[in-house]
Structures are given as C-alpha cells and as structure tokens.
A and B are shown apart, each in its own frame.
Chain A
Amino acid sequence: MLDLVWLIPALPLAGFLLILLTGRRLGDPRAGYLATTMCAGAFVVTAGVFLKLMSLPAEERHHVRRLFSWMPVGSLHIDLSFLADPLSITMCLFVTGIGTLIHLYAVGYMHGDARYSKFFLYLNLFALSMLLLVLGENLVVTFLGWEGVGACSYFLISFWHERESAATAGKKAFVTNRVGDWGFIVAMFFAFQATGTLSYRGLAEAAPHLAPATAAAIAGFAFVGACGKSAQLPLYLWLPDAMEGPTPVSALIHAATMVTAGVFLMTRMSPVLHAAAHFGLFGGHVSVSTVVAVVGAVTALFAATVAVAQNDIKKVLAYSTVSQLGYMFLAVGSGAYVAAIFHMVTHAFFKALLFLGAGSVIHGMHHEQDMRKMGALRLLMPVTAGTFIVGWLAIAGVPPFAGFWSKDEILLFAWDKSPVLYVIGLVTALLTAYYMTRQVIMVFFGEARWHDAHAEHGAHGDAHRPHESPWIMVGPLVALAGLSIVGGFIQLPFSASVKRLEHWLAPVVEGSEHRLRGNVDDLKYVFMAIAVVVAVAGIVAAYLVYAKRRVEPVEPAILANGWYYDQAVSDFMGGPGREAFEGVAWADANVLDGAVRGSGAVVRAGAGELRKVQTGNMRTYAAAVGAGVVALLAWFVLRGVL
C-alpha cells in the first residue's frame, strides 16, 4: 500500500491531462465531476496509506517511494521520490479531503461559467502541485510543487481577468510570491552547500552538526520563503487581493491549503530551526525561532485589527486567514510544531467552511459581497446560516468546537516562550471573536438590507430574492461543519493518551519539539478558562455593538485601509520603485549615451557618412564599447596603483 503513494499526485495529474485534452468536449458539468472524482480518488489512496502507516510501529513510519534517480551525479544526488510519513500524510489527508469537497462545491458554484472546464483544469493542476509539495522527499520536489501552486494561484486569482482588479491582484500575488520563492531557492542552495544533501532525512541527520550560523542562514531564508507563501508580514499584501478569484479558489488555495505551505516547510525544516537556536541576531539575543514567533504574533494581531473594519464578506475572511496563519507561525517559533499542524488542520476545516458559506451567500445574493447590503439571511438560507454559525463558533474559540483546542494549545506554548507573545495572542483571540460575530450578525441577523439594494430591479420581483444554494454546494458545507465540530478531538490536552496528533507526529518533530515547563503544563486549565472568557467577551462586545446597537461601532478608516500599509507599498512600487525600475531601463538606454558623448566625438566623426542610414543610436553603442574599454583599463591601472 505504501508504495502506492505515487498514485496520490498521479490521479490529479491524470485529471489535469484528461481535461486538457477533452475539456471542452466534456463541458459543464462533466469536466467538474471528472476533476472531483480524481481528487476523491487521491483521498481514498491517501486514506489507505494512512491506515497502513497507522498499523506500523512509530519508528517505521517513514517510507520513501523512489520513482527514479533524477540527478545521480557525483556528490549530487537528487531523486524524484515521495515521502510517506505522518506529516506528509496528514497534509495529504486534508488537502485531498477538503479538496474533494471544494471541487464538488465548485461544480455547482461555477455552473454556467464560460471557462468552466478551464477552471477545473487549473484546480486539478493545483491539487497535483500541492500534493507534490507535501509529498516531496527532498527540497527540489517540494520546490517543484511550490512553484506549481504559485502559478496555479496566479492563474486562478486572475481567472476572471476581464476584471481589471482581478488581473492586478494576480500580478501582485505573483510578484510577492517570487520574493518568497527566492528565499526558498537560496535556502535550498545553502542547505545543499552545508550538508551535501537535499533530502529531508539527510537534512535532519546533518542538522545537529551544522554550525549555528549556517543553520540560522538556512532557516532564515526558508522563513523568507514561508512568509511569501503564507502571507506573513511584510509579504502578506497579496492575500486580501487574492479574493478576486472565484470563491472556491479562495477556500481551497487561499485559506485551507496553499497558504499553509510555509508552515509545512518550517515544520519540515524543524531540525535546522532547532540547530539554529544557538545563533543570535542583534547581539546574540534573538534566535531565528524568536523572529518567526514575533513575525507570526504581530501578523496575527495586525490582520485581526484590519478585519474588524472590513465590509466585504470575503475580505474579512481573508484578513482572518492572515491572522490565523500568524498563529501558526507563532506556534512554529515557539517550538510547538504539533500545535502548528493541529491549528493548520482545524483552520482548514473551519476556514474552508466559512469561505464556502460566504460563497453560498454571494451566490444567493447574486454576486453581492458588501455585508452592509445583507442581513437576516438566516431566514432565506437556513443551511448556509447554520453551518456558517458552526464555523463562527469554531474560529471564535468556543469549546468544544475545533478552533478552541488548537488555539488554546498555541497560546500555552506562546506563554512558555514569552508572556508578551501570549498577551498578543490573547488580544488577537478577542478581536477574532469580535469581528467574526460582527460578520455573522451583519450577514445573517438584524434587519434585511438587501431590499434597498435590489429595489431598482423591482420589476423582476422574486427572481432577485436571495435564495439557498443547490444541494451540491450545501452538502460540502454540512460535511465541513461536522468536521469543524469534531476536528478538535484529534488532539485533546487532558492527558497523554488523548494527545493523538502528538503521538502521530512524534517521529517527525521529536528532536525539535519544545517541551513545556512543568508549571506551565499545570496551569493549562487556567489558560483554558481565560481563553473562554476572552472569546465570550469578544462575542458579547460585538453583540452589543452590532445587534443591540448599544455602542457606536468603532471602524476607523485607518483599520479599514489596513493601516495604509498596502497603500504605502503600492505608492512606493508605483512611485519610486517603478521609477527605479524604469531608471535601470533609462540608464541602459541613455546614461551610457550621455557619459560617452564626449569620448564618442571621434567615433561620430568617423561615422558621419553613415548618417544616411537609420542608425541613430549606433554611435552610442560603439562609444559604449569604447567606454567599457576605458573602464576596464582604468580598473587595471587602479589595481596597479593601489
């Protein structure tokens, strides 16, 4: 069974090829069902591999399936091989599982779109890339998937490229992601140079012997890559804009799977991160892990404050995603890899649920995304509302829903790392409960504000009333709601025997996982109580503001505009940045021109005859060669002198 692990990415690949060849003939909805089937098949295989791994003793849960030797030359040994271990299979399970549900949902959501089959083409290509990313046994295979998901993300964000904003958002995502990709590549070469291998097992074995500074460089650049892919400060910019893509894409790529790739990478590299612990930046006080934790915590808080003032139903969820990813990095930085993966899984459940719910609302509202024009939709869309409320309770951290358990565990480790990080995490939790309650009230409760919005369509009458979505969209919502309720039970904090995920992942993160100090572990029930109080406080506050209207809402423009950070970056990129870019182009064309005009006089005289031919700038070119000669000779002269 374990050897069949190659089938997991092969099935979406088959789907991709089939749709590529026959997509237009298959059409709507058969192309969608084909893609869904392939993804579901991958899930079944994953489940089989999972069960097989479970039946093995813990130390044997590491199976490498080598397809072929890719670069078997001298010291260079790179295989195209897949790794089935607890971490990769955990990732595969939720990527294919949630992926299947979202594929199914998209069959309904994209119905009637002009490029229907192309959408599923990209979706299966994405599934393939994502599975390569998580199943790769070495950094190169992961990098292949890493690039692939980036490209798919780009294509899917600008899927409706007729909209100017969608095309721009796609470009933004591409450019920001390239910064991250660069970090990944540099980390890859550093790792190769330092250890002579790129396989994860090799890295894990070599990591303890690495010089701390080398390990810090590898981990640091990997973190740059992770920041780009997982939308952390300062590279988070592209994710809110990515909401221009179709909603199933937002749910699958920009909430549940791709954006967690950075967290996955850092977990895979955890031995290196661990080895870097003894290297301090800024005078030896700040390790790479601390940087990761601080970036995560600050991102979490930052994005949560912005989410408070958004009016677009998807933008709230987008900033919420950035914020929750910040939690995961806080966990990674605190050495709590199990907690990071745990939160990744529960977050995938409830955030996919929330996005699909939002998509259902948008679908029912005829592509209206402004929450100020919604309200009281629970009456017209009961299933959507019910499942959305489950998602809300899960993300807000209300027990026993999934989000409570995973968030609680992260906060525990954050306290152990530093009380300051804990407080930031707690404030973020408060804000999360607040803005999610605000969203639920604005969309599903209160008075219906959509009458006004559609008054001009009066002639159409009921045709424009919001309506519940078809079963094919609602079904996945129900399934995800179920998972959001019980998802937390894979890892309960009460005793060692119910920490199932921790046991399961132990072979992967054992050496680097942080151990809680005894007294912190004893306090866990206190922390739990505090977390519940905070969540309830956030909910009550939002209830008072938005339902009871006892307090005026606080939604300052600075928050609605994301602290003007995006604006500042855009201004820079559009202003000085663009000018710098154009400056290079201009310098290439003109500076040499100007600089050599004097020295080019001789050439010009000789070239006078050629003026009849259209060779305007050729003298300049020739003079540039002359200038190069002068520069080179000057270099030698200077070297001789100095």
Chain B
Amino acid sequence: MTPTADVFVGPPIQWSSLSPMLILLGVAVVLLVAAALTPRWPRRTYALVAVGGALAAVVVAVCLWHGRGLSAWSGSADPTTGSSDPVRFLVGGAMRFDAFALWLTVIVGLAVALSVLVTDDYLEREGLSRLAPEIYALYLTAGLGAVVMGMANDLIVLFLGLEILSLSLYVLAASHRRRTQSQESALKYFILGGVASAVFLYGVALIYGASGSTNYTRALAAFVQNISPHRSEAMALAGVGLLLVGLGFKAAAVPFHMWAPDVYQGAPTPVTGFMASAAKAGAFAAMLRVLVVALPTWSADYRPIVWVMAVLTLVVGSVMAVAQTNVKRMLAFSSISHAGFLLVGVEAAIHDTTHAHPGDGVPSTMLYLLLYAVLVIGTFAVVTLVGRTGDGATDLAGFRGLARQRPVLAVAMTVLLVAQAGVPLTSGFVAKFGVITAAVGEHSYALAIIAMVAAVIAAYLYLRIMISMWVAEPDAADAGREPVGTPLLTSIVIAIAVAVTVVVGVAPGWLISLAQHVR
C-alpha cells in the first residue's frame, strides 16, 4: 500500500500504472521551472535530465510489463481484472492499461531519449543552446501526448493526447529561430494540423451523437446492442470517416500527407526524426485503438477505406521518394511509404476483429513502429550531421564523398538505409516481413503484393543516397564545404540505432515473441 492511494477519494486512480506518463510530465515541468529559476546549468545537464526522465519512463514501463498482475504495486487492484485479463481500466474507464500501452510507452520514451541526445549536439552547433530546457520539455510533453493517445479509452482523452502532441510539435518545428524554413514549416503544420483537429473533433461529436458516449467501451456496447436505427448509423459512419481523416493526417497517410514533405524538410532535422518516430507511433496506436477496440462493428465499412489509403500511401510514398533530390524530402516520402506498410498492418488488424482467432495485425504493426522509430531517428541523426551548420546541406550533393571523409559514419548510414529498404538480417526486414505476413495471413494478397512492389520501388531511393556517399566523387564545389562533424552524443545515438538494427535483424525472435503480447 502506497500512502498516496489513501489520500484520494473518488474515482480510483492507479498511480503506478500512470507513472510513466507522470514521469514524463514531471520531468518536463521540473526542467522548465528549475531552468527558469536557476542560473545556466553546465553543458549537457539539461539534456541528461530529460534523457533520464524519458529512460525512467521506459524502465518503469518495462517493470510494469513484467509486473502486470503484481497487485502489491498498484495498491488498488481490481479483483475483476486479475492476471487472466491483461487489460485494466484507469481513471474511471478513461484510459486502458495493458501491454499495448506499455509497448507504446517504450517506443515513445526511447524516441524522446534518442531525439534529445541528437538535439543537444544540434543546438550547440547551431548556437541555440539557450533554448535547451524549453525544447527538451517540449519533447517530453510531446511524448506524453503520444502515450496518452495510445492509452486513451475515450475519444476525448484521445483528443487531449493528440493536442498535447501536436502543440508541442508545432513549437518544436519552429525551434530554429533563425531559419525561416523552420518557421514556415511550423506555421504550415499548425494551420493544417488545426484543420485536421477540427475534423477529428467533429468526428468525435458525431460518434457521441450516434452512440451516446465517447468512451470506447460504452460506445462499442451501444453499437453492438443497437446497430439498426437508421439515424445513428449514418451519423456513426460519418463520425468514423472524420476520425479516419484526423488520424490519417497525423499518420501522414495519403491523401492527407501533403504537409509531411514540407514540414519534414523545414523542421530542424532532429525534430523531423522525432516526428517520424514518436508522432507516427502515437497516431498509429490511436488508429489501432479506435478502429479495433471502439469501432469494430463498422469494420466492413471502413476496411475498404483503409485498404485504399494503404495502397495510395505505399505507391505515392515510394514513387515520390524516388523523384526527390533533397535527402530530407526523400526521407519524408520514405516515411510516408513506411506509413503505407503500417497501414498494411492496420488493415490486417481490422480483419482480425472479424473472427475469434487473433491474427498478427496489431503485434506486427506495433513491432514495426518500434523498429522504425529507432531506425528513422538514427537516419535523421546522420542527416543532422551531414546538414552541417545551418542545417541546410541536406540535398544529395551534401552526401557526396562522405565515405572518404567519414567512413564509419557512411557505413552506419548504409546499414540504416539498407534496413529501411528491408534487406534480410536487418530490423527493417523483420518489420516488413511481420506486417506482410500478417496481411497474407488475413488473405489480403493484393495488398501484400502491392506492398512488395512499393518496397521494390523504394529501394532505389536508398540506393541513390548510398551511391552519393560511396561512389560519387566530391567535386570542386564540395571542397569549400565544412567537414562533417561527429559530436559525441549524436555518435552514440547513431551507434545505438545501428546496433539495434543489426541485433534485432540477426536475432529478432525474442522481440517478436514479446510483441505477441501486444493485442
């Protein structure tokens, strides 16, 4: 029994289960307040505090994962939700606490920690160190928002998470004060994100109108019991459509992807990596939750939409990626193409709702999110370094001759790119193999074949970057370029990303088994 549990009356709040989120929030607040009240801390301390907070959230999540069913920890274990049922509802049914939520917490916590490390070197290089505490606090709150999105059991709570995430990202995108591209990117993201949020909120309202509740569980119950009345069906379907638009926007799924290349290109590169990892994880987690948990009764109606979105996202992402010359833009489209693969997993997960035997849709999608998060942060960390001071040298030419100048960095980037292309013995293959196997397992053959076509096309893009690094000779214009630096923290992040990519690629068994718990 923890003393805090006795202080509160009213809806039972399982503090221990909420603790990863509380840590993220707490560290963010402490960082902001303490930094405002105290003189400047020594170099890197802000970053280390933020990283410590993010990793603490990860560690607690891992402990909770192992301790699920450890009632001594949570203080007020509900006897009805024993160890047989891994789902537990928190805060009066507003949130779900289960393996899914913990898995997402781990993804987001790692993404925050790695992004902060890269950002610390970035800020120093760009002479923006003064902003450090605010920026790290924003990473933490953005991570909090993403976790809330995945843990929500209520559309309003989901919206809350969505807005926490989005608002933090708008500011992060604008955080390079002297680059107009950064400002422009943030403004675009803000306005378009506002549109998407409005659409989403309207969808929430319609679902409420149709079912009488914004709570997943109660809405589902209402739909299951009372599926026929004509009025509520139209309203519910319209609501589903609008929710899909809002979530599709956050996930950068075609046709709601148009903001992504501009925003990814303009935002500070470490922030871009964070958007492609944590924000995407939050969006897809929320999408899975809403579609699979709250609205499975309508799956026959929205499944074709997800199918079309997946196909469009795969094709447009890979084809457009090949046509770019700026590496950040390339990777933005590549990230759209990855979103297509994730949608393949989501489509399989939707199929799963139609029969009793659980498929691999949800686990494979969540595994993909984890592996892709590490991969993409590592990739953007390299792009951050190659961007050089001013964060501007992100066209393909900037990579010319990197193999000669920084061979180890070039090898690392090659590993990461090869993994993104999905070559065996890398984590990228494990991820892609998982979602395609899930799709094939649900007999979505057409989608699986299209996904493979997209993978084939997209490989060309990664090859172009590799050629630029390894084969292309630096020309006279490159002679005057500033050499690519390899500061410590960023190097550590890249090393971690490469290590994870290779280790998981070579021995993915344990991780795939773990992901099987995520349902």
Contact = CB atoms under 8 A, between A and B. Distances in A.
Contacts of B456: 178-179, 181-182, 185
A70 interface: yes
A182 B453 contact: yes
Interface string A578-602: 0001101100100010000000000
Q: What's the interface size class on B, roughly?
A: 35 or more
B316 A588 contact: yes
A629 B513 CA distance: 38
Contact of B320 (A185, A584, A615, A636): A584
Interface string B127-160: 0000000000000000000000000000000000
Interface string A253-270: 000000000000000000
Residue of B199, B238, B509 with highest tally of chain A CB at under 10 A: B509
B463 interface: yes
Given A182-B452, A636-B237, A140 B248 contact: no
Contact of B471 (A140, A151, A158, A185): A158
Interface stretch (B55-63, B186-194, B394-402, B484-492): B186-194
A71 interface: yes
Nearest to B324: A585
Interface stretch (A56-64, A186-194, A233-241): A186-194
Interface string B444-477: 0000110011011101100100000001100000
B241 interface: yes
B460 A174 contact: yes
Interface string A612-638: 011100101110111111011101100
A588 B459 CA distance: 20
B424 A143 contact: yes
Interface string A533-565: 000000000000000000000000000000000
Contacts of A141: 424
- Which of A71, A147, A178, A632 gathers most chain B CB within 10 Å? A632
B184 A615 contact: yes
Contact of B509 (A69, A584, A622, A636): A69
B245 A186 contact: no
A51 interface: no
Contacts of B460: 174-175, 178
A628 B245 contact: yes
Contacts of A179: 456
B251 to A, nearest CB: 13
Contact of A640 (B234, B259, B304, B457): B234
A4 interface: no
A632 B241 contact: yes
B372 interface: no
Given A70-B506, A636-B237, A625 B199 contact: yes
A379 interface: no
Contacts of A631: 255
B205 interface: no
Given A68-B507, A178-B456, A625 B449 contact: no
B207 to A, nearest CB: 13
Contact of A193 (B249, B301, B440): B440
Interface in B493-519: 506-509, 512-513, 516
Interface in A177-215: 178-179, 181-182, 185-186, 189, 192-193
Contacts of B433: 71
A420 interface: no
Contacts of B373: none
Nearest to B472: A161
Contacts of B95: none
B261 to A, nearest CB: 10
B255 A592 contact: yes
Nearest to A582: B323
Contacts of B259: 621
A30 B453 CA distance: 43
A621 B184 contact: no
A431 B114 CA distance: 64
A19 B319 CA distance: 36
Given A192-B440, A585-B320, A186 B244 contact: no
Contact of A76 (B248, B455, B512): B512
What is the interface of chain A mostly: helix, strand, loop, or mixed? helix
Contacts, number: 142
A640 B242 contact: no
A70 B471 contact: no
Interface in A316-342: none
Contacts of B199: 625, 629
Q: Give the most central of A143, A584, A625: most B CB within 10 Å.
A: A625
A72 interface: yes
B33 interface: no
A640 B237 CA distance: 10
B509 to A, nearest CB: 5
A588 B320 contact: yes
Contacts of A80: 425, 506
Interface in B292-312: 301, 304-305
B184 A614 contact: yes
A633 B259 CA distance: 22
Nearest to B323: A585
Given A70-B506, A193-B440, A588-B316, A622 B452 contact: no
A73 interface: yes
A138 B144 CA distance: 43
B188 A621 contact: yes
Contacts of A189: 436-437, 440, 448, 452
Contacts of A193: 440-441
Nearest to A141: B424
B272 to A, nearest CB: 18
Contacts of B319: 581, 584-585
B111 interface: no
Given A144-B424, A178-B460, A161 B452 contact: no
B301 to A, nearest CB: 6
A72 B513 CA distance: 9
Nearest to B254: A588
B165 interface: no
B191 A622 contact: yes
B513 to A, nearest CB: 5
Contact of B258 (A72, A174, A186, A592): A592
A193 B315 CA distance: 24
A367 interface: no
Contact of B196 (A71, A615, A625): A625
Nearest to A624: B258
A573 interface: no
A380 interface: no
Given A581-B323, A585-B323, 17 more contacts: A68-B507, A70-B507, A158-B471, A161-B472, A186-B449, A588-B316, A592-B255, A615-B187, A621-B258, A624-B255, A625-B192, A628-B248, A629-B242, A629-B245, A631-B255, A635-B241, A636-B237
28 contacts: A68-B507, A70-B508, A73-B513, A76-B437, A144-B423, A154-B463, A161-B472, A174-B460, A174-B463, A175-B460, A181-B456, A185-B455, A189-B440, A189-B452, A584-B320, A614-B180, A618-B192, A625-B199, A625-B249, A625-B256, A628-B245, A629-B199, A629-B241, A629-B242, A636-B234, A636-B301, A639-B301, A640-B237
Pairs of residues from A and B, 5 with the lowest C-beta to C-beta distance, nearest first: A632-B241, A144-B424, A73-B512, A636-B237, A621-B258
Interface of B: 180, 184, 187-188, 191-192, 195-196, 199, 233-234, 237-238, 240-242, 244-245, 248-249, 255-256, 258-259, 301, 304-305, 315-316, 319-320, 322-323, 423-425, 430, 433, 436-437, 440-441, 448-449, 452-453, 455-457, 459-460, 463, 471-472, 506-509, 512-513, 516
Interface of A: 68-74, 76, 80, 140-141, 143-144, 147, 151, 154-155, 158, 161, 174-175, 178-179, 181-182, 185-186, 189, 192-193, 581-582, 584-585, 588, 592, 607, 610, 613-615, 618, 620-622, 624-629, 631-633, 635-636, 639-640
